[in-house]
Chains A and B, each alone.
Chain A
Amino acid sequence: EAQVTQNPRYLITVTGKKLTVTCSQNMNHEYMSWYRQDPGLGLRQIYYSMNVEVTDKGDVPEGYKVSRKEKRNFPLILESPSPNQTSLYFCASRTRLGGGGEKLFFGSGTQLSVL
């Protein structure tokens, strides 16, 4: 089954404790992206990757890191989480062939709480 898998589904942590949210897709998609969803603010793009070893900032990259060492994986790293990073995070992927016109496939989301 074609899917984007995020882990963990829920995560509670404390300020300053490094964490990684994993994202993996099995559709051989070139493009992957991370979003955060906050009430009243919709989905905001954090980082995206057009292919292996190619990443770029979205609209809200501060406080986050990503890496794309393999095509299928695109982890989101919070090296020193702060309470304002409490949010619902989504990973997404799509093929690159049709450019921005291809639909996004989303993971199930990760609810992060930073205390």
Chain B
Amino acid sequence: AQKVTQAQTEISVVEKEDVTLDCVYETRDTTYYLFWYKQPPSGELVFLIRRNSFDEQNEISGRYSWNFQKSTSSFNFTITASQVVDSAVYFCALSEDNTNAGKSTFGDGTTLTVKP
């Protein structure tokens, strides 16, 4: 069975601080996909990034960066120089890797509050 653990329930930082959101996953599959989604206070769910299990390269997109380490089954998300607009619930998710894949597993989410 798949499992995604986001141990940090809530994080509060002051604007311009860097913050890392942790994600640890469990799967028996040898190939899989990992995702991060953002849910701002308005409630919609927004895709941020996807990473497949073959690709352990870190990725940077502006102030966001992701560190995928297969050896520790982790896919952590760092926001550099946080801003108030980064305040949201962030979900890490895991999916199987095949065209018949239907199940997706989400973590419980980390609520990030960035204070001015």
Q: Chain A interface (Cβ within 8 Å of chain B)?
A: 31, 33, 35, 40-45, 48, 50, 56, 58-59, 88, 90, 92, 96-101, 103-106, 108-109
Contact = CB atoms under 8 A, between A and B. Distances in A.
Contacts of B44: 106, 108-109
B61 interface: no
Interface in B16-46: 32-33, 35, 37, 43-45
Interface residues of B, number: 30
Contacts, number: 74
A44 B106 contact: yes
18 contacts: A33-B102, A42-B108, A43-B106, A45-B103, A48-B103, A50-B102, A90-B45, A92-B45, A96-B99, A99-B95, A99-B100, A99-B101, A100-B32, A100-B98, A103-B50, A105-B47, A108-B43, A108-B44
Interface of B: 4, 6, 9, 32-33, 35, 37, 43-45, 47, 50, 52, 91, 93, 95-109
